[in-house]
Amino acid sequence: MTKHRSTFVLTAVLAALCLASLAAQALNLPRIFSDNMVLQRGIPLKIWGWADPGQSVEVSFSTQKKTATAGEDGKWVVTLEPLPASAEPGELNIAAGDQRVSIKNVLVGEVWICSGQSNMEWSLRDTDQAKETIAAANLPLIRQFKVPHVTNAKPQKDLPGDWAVCSPGTAANFTGVGYHFGLQLYKKLNVPIGLINTSWGGTRIEPWTDPEGFKLSPKLNNISELIASADKVHRQNQVAKLDQLEAWVRQSREALEKGLPLSSFPGGIPEHPLNGADRPTGIYNAMIAPLVPYGIRGAIWYQGESNNGEGMLYFEKMKALIGSWHRLWGQGAFPFLYVQLAPYRYNNPEALPGIWEAQLAALSIPNTGMAVITDIGNVSDIHPRNKLEVGRRLSLWALAKTYGQSGQEYSGPIYKAMKVEGDKAILTFDHSDGLKSLDGKPLTWFTIATEDKKFVAARAEVVGNTVVISSDEVVKPVAVRFGWHETAEPNLGNGAGLPASPFRTDK
C-alpha cells in the first residue's frame, strides 16, 4: 500500500471519527439510565454521561444536587451519596445549559447483574409452572434491564436496552433464574429489585472477561498474548486486504480494456480478531464494559456448559472473570454467586465432573457462593426447567452472606476431609447438619479405591455428621469419589434438603 493511499485512508477515518464525536456531544446518558430504572441503595452512586467539552452539568435526585464539568472528551461523572431504599417513584434530572434530561419512575433498592449462557438467559415463559408464575407476576417493584446480543473488539461507551417493570405482560421475557432469585430477595428484604440481564446462550466464559482479568493467572498467558497481538494482526489483515483490493481493481481495469470477464470481488475489510461472541473480551466489550460503574450489589452467574472438558483450567478462568469484574466496578469483592452445572449426557462421562470440581474450587475466591443442582436437572435436557429452585438456592447464599440473615442453611454439604479406619473411609463435611439421604433410599454414587485407583461401587452410611464408606472389594481404601459421572444424580444432602456437591478425594 502506497504512503499516499495510507495517508488518505487514515485521514478519512479520522475525519469520520471526529464528525461522529462532535455529533454525540449533546447531553446524553447511557441507556442503563432510563425510565423505570432501579438504583442500588446504600453505596456511593456514579451517574455519568456526555455533553459539550467544558459544559457544566447538574444532576439532582431526591434531596441531592451534584455538579460536574464535562472533560475534553465530553464525559462527565457525578457521585451521589448513598441512598436509602425507596419504593416511591422518583425522578432523576440532568441539566446542561438549556438541555434537560428527566428519567422517571426511578426506585432505589437492590441491583444484581444476571449473566452467563443459555441457562441464565432462559426466559420465564419456558420454565416449569410458567403460566401460573407469569399470571401472578404483578410485581412493579421488580424490574429488568435486558441487554441485547452485541459484540465489539473494543470497550464500548453504551449499549442498547430498556428497563421493564414486572407485570403479567412483561414477566415472560425476564430471565427465569434471575426472576426467581429477585423474587426471593423481594419477599425477604421488602425493597425494590433491579435485574440487569446480560446473558447469551452458547457462549464461553472468555468473551465475558476483560483483558486484565486474564493476567491474573499465568495459565492463561496464551489468551493474554492473543489479546495483546490482536490490534497488530488486524492492521496486517487490513493492509493485506487493501493490497488485494488494489490488485483486483488493477486486474479489472486491464480486463475491461481487453474485453475479458471480471473476476469476483475479493470481499470487505476483515473483522477485528476480538470482535465475536466466541472471542476473548468480545462480549465484555459490548455487554459489560458499558455498564461499569453502574451501582450494583453483586452478580449471579450460570455458565460453563460451553467450557465443558476443561477441568481445573475453568477455575483459572473463573478467577479471571470474577477478578476482572471486581476490579472494573471498584466496589471491592462484591458477591459473585454461581450455579454448579446440572447433570447432562454429554457422552464424555468425566468431563462434567471436571467442571464441577473447578466450580467447587471457585468457592475459595472471596465472596463467592455456589448453588448445587444435581437433584433438579434433566440428563436428557441441557436446559432443565426448574429455574424456581435454582433462583431460590442462589438467593439463600445472598440472604445469608450478603444480607446477614441468619437461621437458615444456605449450602448443601461440601466435602471437608477423609480419614481411614481399617477398611472404611470416614468423610466429614461442612454444612453437614442433618446429613441424610434426600429420598430416603440408600446413599448413591459413592465409589472407593485402593492404591491401584480402580474405583468400585461403595456402601455409604450416614453416621452422625459423617458418611462412612466401604466395599467388600476394598480392604485398604485410599480414595473416594462422589457423583463422579456426568449423569450422576446423587441423593446425599443435609437437613435443609440441599444436595451435596460432587467431589473426589484424589486430586
Residue 177 CB neighbours (<10 A):
32
Q: Check whether residue 430 and residue 450 sit in a common domain.
A: yes
Average pLDDT on 313-342 reads 98
Taking the C-alpha atoms of residue 349 and residue 354, their distance in angstroms, rounded to an integer, is 10
Grid cell, residue 393, equals: 438456592
Per-residue pLDDT band for 14 (boundaries 50, 70, 90) equals very low
Q: Is the peptide bond before 218 cis (omega within 30 degrees of 0)?
A: no
Domain boundary among 402, 425, 459: 402
Same domain, 375 and 320: yes
Looking at residue 17, its pLDDT comes to 45
pLDDT confidence bin for 5, thresholds 50/70/90 = very low
392 shares its domain with 457: no
Q: Are residues 80 and 161 in the same domain?
A: yes
Q: Is 468 within the bounds of a domain?
A: yes
Q: Are residues 380 and 494 in the same domain?
A: no
Residue with cell 441503595: 41
Q: Domains in the chain: how many in total?
A: 2
Better-predicted residue by pLDDT, 242 or 225: 225
Same domain as 162, residue 81? yes
Predicted pLDDT at 265: 66
Radius of gyration of the chain (CA): 27
* Whether residue 151 sits in one domain with residue 42: yes
Residue range 224-249: average pLDDT?
A: 80
21 in any annotated domain = no
Residue 54 pLDDT greater than 70, yes or no: yes
Q: Write the DSSP symbol of residue 477.
A: -
In a domain, 91, yes or no: yes
β-sheet bridge partners, residue 62: none
Domain that holds residue 438: 414-501
d(CA 15, CA 19): 6
> Is 379 contained in some domain?
yes
* Residue 380 burial by Cβ neighbours in a 10 Å radius (0-12, 13-18, 19+): exposed
Q: Write out the DSSP string of 293-360.
A: T---SEEEEE--GGGTT-TTHHHHHHHHHHHHHHHHHTSSS--EEEEPPPP---S-TTHHHHHHHHHH
The string of pLDDT tens digits covering residues 105-135 is 999 999 999 999 999 999 999 999 999 999 9
Does some domain include residue 30? no
Whether 301 is in a domain gets the answer yes
CA distances from 146 to 133, 178, 328 (A): 19, 11, 20
Is the predicted pLDDT of residue 162 greater than 60, yes or no?
yes
Contact 414, 200 (CB under 8 A): no
Residues 381 and 421 in one domain: no
What SS3 state is found at 75?
strand
pLDDT-based confidence at residue 22 (cuts at 50, 70, 90): very low
The answer to the question of residue 313 being in a domain is: yes
User: What angle separates helix 3-23 from helix 221-258, to the nearest 10 degrees?
Assistant: 120
What pTM, to 2 d.p., does this model score? 0.91
Using an 8 Å Cβ cutoff, are 156 and 286 in contact?
Answer: yes
Within a domain: 319: yes
Which pLDDT score, from 0 to 100, does residue 403 have? 98
Same domain, 58 and 101: yes
Work out the percent of the chain whose per-residue pLDDT is above 90.
86
Hey, what's the cell of 267? 470481499
Euclidean distance between CA atoms 426 and 87, whole angstroms: 52
CATH number for the domain spanning 66: value is: 3.40.50.1110
In the numeric block, the cell 450478603 is attached to 402
Domain boundary at 402, 422, 455, which?
402
Residue 496: in which H helix or E strand, if any? none
485 and 464 within one domain: yes
For 253-308, the pLDDT digits (tens) are 877 777 878 777 667 777 898 999 999 999 999 999 999 999 999 999 999 999 99
Residues 76/48, Cβ–Cβ less than 8 Å: yes
What's the mean per-residue pLDDT of the chain?
A: 93
What is the side-by-side strand order in the sheet with 456-457?
A: 456-457, 446-449, 479-482, 503-504
- What is the grid cell recorded at 132? 401460573
DSSP string, 262-285: PPPP---PPPPTT-STTSTTTTII
Same domain for 398 and 446, yes or no, is no
In sequence order, what are the beta bridge partners of 420?
425
For 236-265, give the DSSP string: HHHHHHHHHHHHHHHHHHHHHHHTPPPPPP
Q: Which of 355, 375, 402 is the C-terminal boundary of a domain?
A: 402
Same domain, 77 and 123: yes
